[in-house]
Chain A
Amino acid sequence: MSDKTHKTGKDQTKPAAEILGPGAVSMVLNVNGVSQSIDVEPRTTLAEALRTSLNLTGTKVACNHGACSACTVWLDDLPVAACSVLAIEVTSQKITTIEGLSETDHLHPVQKAFIEHDAVQCGFCTPGIVMSCAALLAHNPHPDAAEIEVAISGHLCRCGTYPHVIQAMLSLANKQEGNHE
């Protein structure tokens, strides 16, 4: 037996409302070309706001600390980890999620290539990787393997889809090259 008793449990001197922090505030987010008003607490991350207030559950949260990039969305066309941005910070920016990447019933070329090359296994990290790959292609239509590797270097995939992701992207880079020649 040890010397000392260990105790947990904060003494509840503060009222619950104070413990829980500031309540919901109204804000407008421009998501996939549509401005939408939501009420969320100031501490709400963009990922959480998208998933729970706007029901855009294609943005996945895997680590919630900016280490795996599963939650990647575009802020003004640049990929960012939506778990590491507060919703209230991005009210003046254009947000694009996986649901807004392509028109309904049409697949983005990256999505088609992922299917063709089986760059998908469990699929949980996939929307985020698709967003980073699509962002790369928008800036650089003919990336080489090294550029693709850099573009997806922040992503983690436990199923090990990386080789097929890179093959899918190389097929697009080469296809587009062919079209130009």
Chain B
Amino acid sequence: MNDNTPKHHERLSAGMAHLGLDQVTREISDSEPPALAPNADLNFIGRNTPRWDAVGKVTGAACYTVDVQLPGMLFAAVMRSPLPHARIRSLDLAPARNFLGVRAVVTVIEALSDGHAPAVRYVGQPIAAVAAETLAAAEAAIKLIKVEFDPLPFAIDIESAMRSDASTIYRQDEAAHIPVAGFPFVADLPLEGNVRGPSKREQGNVNDGFSSADFIVEETFFTQVQTHCCMEPHAIVADWREEGLDVWMSTQFTAGVRAQLAATFQLPLSRVRVRAQAIGGGFGSKSQLGQYGKIAVTLSRLSRAPVRLVYRRDEEQMDSGNRPSSQQHLRIGARRDGKLTAISLHAWGSAGIAQGAGVGDIAMALYACPNLKSLQFDVFTNTSPSTAMRGPGNTQGAFALEQSIDALAEKLSFDPLVLREVIDLSPVRREERRLGALKIGWAHRKTPGFDSGSIKHGLGMAQSLWMSNVQINSACEVRLWRDGKVEVLSSVQDIGTGIGTLLQQVVAEELGLQPDAIGVRIGDTEFPSGPPSYGSRTSASITPPARSAAWQIKNALLQSVASHWNLDPQQLKIQDGWVQSADTPPRRIPWKEAVRTLRTDRISAVASRSDDYAGFHSRNGDSAIALNDLGGVQFVAVTVDTQTGVIHIERVVAVHDCGRPINPLQIESQIHGGILMGISYALLEERIIDPHTGCMMNPNFIDYKFAGPSGLPKIDVMVLENYQGLSATDAYGVGEPANIATAAAIANAVYNAIGIRINTLPMTPARVLQALRDANKGPVDGIF
């Protein structure tokens, strides 16, 4: 995008800081700020600046969407399908419309134009919605809606949906309208029965590759459906007014929701405002406007009043998104020296009624292998649509790939780390393996099933891979007021990652001020469009333009002071809250006086994300994939109690890279979150659907288990300073890589403990005991 601007050569730091830095020379635009020094030479970047919004969050003052109350606000409730698959013969909304306090009713399910009766395809699918003066009235009213259903046969799991006699969920002519679960996603694939695909990737010839292999491993892996469990449910307050649409929403992408609202309701972008002040988690499920968003806005338009729609926890668990299930058949061939000759993957996944249940490209991308083939299929089931979830695809994929690589290492009589030295070309992960292995004491790792007692110890590891995403459509404004106050503004939202703190640190560094002196105004589309908080792209996308804008403001201020002093602005610099000159004797004035030289009350600079200095790997619309990848290596120590089947995670060592770390403590927080979500995925979490009714059996926080604070492992986090000279901040993301390797590392540690592979998630005590019994290593019959 800076193709026409003058360029110059700039020398930037490159390499891993703890091993010594090199320099790379890049041709960069003159509109880019000069190279940023390594963290060791900076004042605020690379330090643990306290979270910008922490005071509001610890005092309860932070305003989440669920806290927004507007005068005259109505409350919405959604009438949902009680059946997993049915045609709607008739729908009568009148009893709801006539109920006390009801102000608007809307049909959500759309009648098809070709004369077919509308279908419901999963339990919990929205059929109609009501806005009323109280939530109690809205909830009472939806129970009065009369629907006659003609039930249809249904399938809730991949196996039954793929049977030849299974009833089809979509007709061919509906294939173009199947909802999209989020990436990974390939458009326009063939549909046959309930199976869509394959999404195909091929390189070389896998048949030749397997023929030349000395060893082959082959196994099928199964992963379950996981739900996001955001603590703040999906929530929106929509206010349709003459002058425009005003929306508060718990969303990961204010600017994206604005664009979707404008398109859906045919409004100009300028007449739609989306705000998200505090956001109680997202993990992928709050990436889109969603059906609930459209429902609330439609009800507001109909009732001409603000409408609040907040999902109950059971709605949240049933119908706000989930991670698709998967079945992965993975075959890997290798030569005696460890070099891979072929990898072939056949994967089937179900995103419920949505498409996009792939298991990612990790098996095709993590290791060097000349012959690759991957065929991935969506299998439609009568369950709620998935959405992206933390490391979508690759988290499922890593569970299969990293166990298979370990199995291959054992066949080759290689240590798992030694095999990875042969097949993983990344110097960053090599260093991560070295550091992690030292920290966890890999040298003391025993052979599988070594312990003689009933409590078996195991050590395992697995690697993470995530593409390094950048949002091109990302802008940031920095304002300087004549009273000395500085503000940084963008529509970027903080879902708990701490992006606001990073903006403070970057702007403070450039302007020589303290981070807490920088006012943060984000989560509002009235400000320049920021990136989404998904795809681990936020830091990479918004911190470079924040620095560029701050640099422009600094130059403007220096220009102003220079005119005042009749000096060349090149002779001035800003340091520690002072502007000073390079002449002798040096002149200096404090910030407060310097800003008084400004001609106007406020100056402002807006900068947008430029391309990475070495270009991008690829780009697609508003987003691009950087040349680097994001990774990380995780090591886990477990014990397995062979009497009870209980797996206990004793220790986790996580070594990650995200370019330049801007706030190490916040990064550690996020990595803790990824690991804990991974532990839960490995051991606890599973959406359970009753096969007889299609109903979710655990739509709550009692029966749906995820990790609480008890019995946590000791977690050591190490984050590399990995400079690449790619942008004004050289910062990249970490949220998803932190989650991708965990379950696979646990599975490999469990194998090391008991000498049995658990190929199915979650690894519950029942599954562990069954596996032990099948291998005749279990508790003696009669104990249970």
Q: CA A9 – CA B149 in complex, angstroms?
A: 12
A6: Cβ under 8 A from any B Cβ? yes
Stretch at the interface among B437-445, B615-623, B705-713: B705-713
Stretch at the interface among B279-287, B328-336, B397-405: B279-287
A166: Cβ under 8 A from any B Cβ? yes
- Residue of B67, B89, B100 near A5 (CB, 8 A) is B89
Q: 12 other contacts beyond A114-B54, A125-B231, A156-B708, with CB at 8 A cut-off? A: A2-B153, A5-B89, A6-B151, A16-B140, A41-B136, A57-B64, A107-B58, A118-B48, A122-B496, A123-B54, A160-B672, A166-B709
Q: Is the CB of A68 within 8 A of B701?
A: yes
Contacts of A70 in B (CB 8 A): 231
Q: CA A51 – CA B63 in complex, angstroms?
A: 12
Interface string of A1-44 (1 = CB under 8 A from B): 11011111110100011011100000000000000000001000
Contacts of B152 in A (CB 8 A): 1-2
Stretch at the interface among B103-111, B375-383, B662-670: B662-670
Contacts of A94 in B (CB 8 A): none
A142: Cβ under 8 A from any B Cβ? no
B4 CB to nearest A CB, Å: 42
A45: Cβ under 8 A from any B Cβ? no
A-B contacts, 9 of them at CB < 8 A, read: A20-B140, A60-B66, A63-B700, A65-B701, A118-B54, A118-B669, A120-B51, A121-B673, A160-B707
Q: CA A8 – CA B498 in complex, angstroms?
A: 46
B59: Cβ under 8 A from any A Cβ? yes
Beta-carbon nearest neighbor of A62 in chain B: B231
Q: Which of A6, A41, A67, A161 has the most CB of B within 10 A?
A: A6
Q: Is the CB of B231 within 8 A of A115?
A: no
Q: Which of B101, B148, B669 has the most CB of A within 10 A?
A: B669
B163: Cβ under 8 A from any A Cβ? no
B675 CB to nearest A CB, Å: 7
Q: CA A147 – CA B379 in complex, angstroms?
A: 48
Beta-carbon nearest neighbor of B709 in chain A: A162
Interface string of A117-129 (1 = CB under 8 A from B): 1101111111100
Contacts of A102 in B (CB 8 A): 59
Tally of A-B Cβ pairs under 8 angstroms? 228
B719: Cβ under 8 A from any A Cβ? no
Say yes or no: A67-B702 contact (C-beta < 8 A), given A124-B281, A149-B709: yes
- Residue of A4, A64, A117, A122 near B279 (CB, 8 A) is A122
- Residue of B58, B230, B706 near A111 (CB, 8 A) is B58
Contacts of A125 in B (CB 8 A): 231
Say yes or no: A6-B83 contact (C-beta < 8 A), given A58-B59, A114-B54, A118-B666: yes
Interface positions of A (Cβ within 8 A of B): 1-2, 4-10, 12, 16-17, 19-21, 41, 51-52, 55-65, 67-68, 70, 97-99, 101-102, 107, 110-111, 114-118, 120-127, 130, 149, 152-166
Contacts of A115 in B (CB 8 A): 50-51, 54-55, 58
Nearest 8 pairs of A and B residues by beta carbon: A58-B60, A122-B496, A123-B57, A124-B280, A9-B146, A160-B673, A16-B100, A160-B676
Q: Is the CB of B59 within 8 A of A107?
A: yes
Q: Is the CB of B709 within 8 A of A120?
A: no
B152 CB to nearest A CB, Å: 7
Which secondary structure dominates chain B's binding surface? loop
Q: CA A19 – CA B101 in complex, angstroms?
A: 13
Beta-carbon nearest neighbor of A155 in chain B: B709
Contacts of B497 in A (CB 8 A): 121
Contacts of B674 in A (CB 8 A): 160
Contacts of A21 in B (CB 8 A): 136
Q: Is the CB of B143 within 8 A of A10?
A: yes
Q: CA A4 – CA B83 in complex, angstroms?
A: 13
B495: Cβ under 8 A from any A Cβ? yes
Say yes or no: A122-B281 contact (C-beta < 8 A), given A64-B312, A164-B669: yes
Say yes or no: A123-B278 contact (C-beta < 8 A), given A157-B231, A158-B231, A159-B496: yes
Q: Is the CB of B312 within 8 A of A12?
A: no
B267: Cβ under 8 A from any A Cβ? no
B677: Cβ under 8 A from any A Cβ? yes
Report how many residues on chain B are interfacial, defined by Cβ distance under 8 Å. Answer: 79
B280 CB to nearest A CB, Å: 3
Interface string of B527-559 (1 = CB under 8 A from A): 000000000000000000000000000000000
- Residue of A8, A20, A124 near B231 (CB, 8 A) is A124
Q: Is the CB of B95 within 8 A of A121?
A: no
Q: CA A99 – CA B498 in complex, angstroms?
A: 23
Q: Is the CB of A162 within 8 A of B153?
A: no
Beta-carbon nearest neighbor of A7 in chain B: B148
B126: Cβ under 8 A from any A Cβ? no
Contacts of B92 in A (CB 8 A): 9
Interface positions of B (Cβ within 8 A of A): 48, 50-51, 53-64, 66-67, 69, 82-83, 86, 89, 92, 95, 99-101, 136-137, 140, 143-153, 228-233, 278-281, 283, 312-313, 495-498, 665-666, 668-670, 672-677, 700-702, 706-710, 712, 715
Contacts of A114 in B (CB 8 A): 54, 58
Q: Is the CB of B677 within 8 A of A153?
A: no
Beta-carbon nearest neighbor of B134 in chain A: A20
Q: Which of B144, B149, B231, B674 has the most CB of A within 10 A?
A: B231
Q: Is the CB of B64 within 8 A of A158?
A: no
Contacts of B99 in A (CB 8 A): 12, 16
Contacts of A57 in B (CB 8 A): 60, 63-64, 66-67
Q: Is the CB of A65 within 8 A of B231?
A: no
Q: Is the CB of A65 within 8 A of B60?
A: no
Q: CA A87 – CA B492 in complex, angstroms?
A: 38
Q: Is the CB of B150 within 8 A of A2?
A: yes
Contacts of B709 in A (CB 8 A): 149, 152-153, 155, 157, 162, 165-166
Say yes or no: A162-B676 contact (C-beta < 8 A), given A57-B60, A57-B67, A115-B58: yes
Contacts of B86 in A (CB 8 A): 6
Q: CA A51 – CA B308 in complex, angstroms?
A: 15
Say yes or no: A12-B144 contact (C-beta < 8 A), given A7-B149, A160-B672: yes
Q: CA A121 – CA B665 in complex, angstroms?
A: 11
Contacts of B312 in A (CB 8 A): 64
B545 CB to nearest A CB, Å: 24
Contacts of B60 in A (CB 8 A): 56-60, 97-99, 127
Contacts of B100 in A (CB 8 A): 16-17, 20
B231 CB to nearest A CB, Å: 4
Contacts of A55 in B (CB 8 A): 69
Contacts of B67 in A (CB 8 A): 51, 57
Q: Which of A59, A118, A160 has the most CB of B within 10 A?
A: A160
Say yes or no: A7-B146 contact (C-beta < 8 A), given A65-B701, A166-B709: yes
A116 CB to nearest B CB, Å: 7
Say yes or no: A9-B145 contact (C-beta < 8 A), given A114-B58, A126-B57: yes
Say yes or no: A122-B144 contact (C-beta < 8 A), given A65-B700, A152-B709, A162-B712: no
Beta-carbon nearest neighbor of A55 in chain B: B69
B705 CB to nearest A CB, Å: 10
Q: CA A9 – CA B95 in complex, angstroms?
A: 9
Contacts of B101 in A (CB 8 A): 16
A119 CB to nearest B CB, Å: 8
Q: Is the CB of B63 within 8 A of A127?
A: no
Q: Is the CB of A158 within 8 A of B230?
A: yes
Contacts of B63 in A (CB 8 A): 57
Q: CA A126 – CA B62 in complex, angstroms?
A: 11
Contacts of A122 in B (CB 8 A): 230-232, 278-281, 495-496
Q: CA A123 – CA B280 in complex, angstroms?
A: 7
Contacts of B61 in A (CB 8 A): 58, 99
Q: CA A4 – CA B148 in complex, angstroms?
A: 10
Q: Is the CB of A159 within 8 A of B673?
A: yes
Q: CA A126 – CA B67 in complex, angstroms?
A: 15
Q: CA A20 – CA B132 in complex, angstroms?
A: 13
Q: CA A17 – CA B99 in complex, angstroms?
A: 10
Beta-carbon nearest neighbor of B671 in chain A: A160
Contacts of B283 in A (CB 8 A): 158
A66 CB to nearest B CB, Å: 8
Contacts of B669 in A (CB 8 A): 118, 121, 159-161, 164
